[in-house]
Amino acid sequence: MAKYGEDFMKCPMFTAQSLIGGKWKVFLLWALHDGPKRFSEMQRLLPEVTQSMLTNTLRDLEKDGLIHREVYRQVPPKVEYSLTPIGDKLMPILQLLLGWGTEYMEDMGTLDLENSGLDPDRWAAINKGMAQLK
């Protein structure tokens, strides 16, 4: 987490935003919600992200305790990333954020479910969760 003034660090909302803010952090965390992934899998999910940006973002998430990096001592080397228990606690929040973003895009007329990458069953579950919040 970046260094900020002491007063800001006392604010839970600022702390949360500092931990998950950034262009790719939320997406990478969400990508791990269904289990561990290798670096190459993460690269395929985000082909527009450079290798160094992906590496740095994963390192930040690991340093902040949100993901775990497991190195398997084998040839060729194998590294997997997974959520830590505290990172896993973000998943219900990210699911709601996904639902809100989808609802927003629907309202704005910009939602294209066919090209969104959303699984229809997962979309139905998210939609149900959003309806319960209203």
Q: How many CB atoms lie within 10 A of CB 29?
A: 21
Looking at the chain, the number of H-run helices and the number of E-run strands are 8, 3
Token pair 């994963």 is found at: 58
Phi and psi at residue 80, to the nearest 5°: -125, 145
CA atoms of 119 and 15, how far apart (whole Å) = 31
Task: Give the residues across from 68 on adjacent strands.
Answer: 82
Q: What's the pTM value of the predicted model, to 2 decimals?
A: 0.78
pLDDT digits (tens, 9 = 90+) for 5-55: 666 667 888 889 989 999 999 999 999 998 999 999 999 888 889 999 999
Phi and psi at residue 97, to the nearest 5°: -65, -40
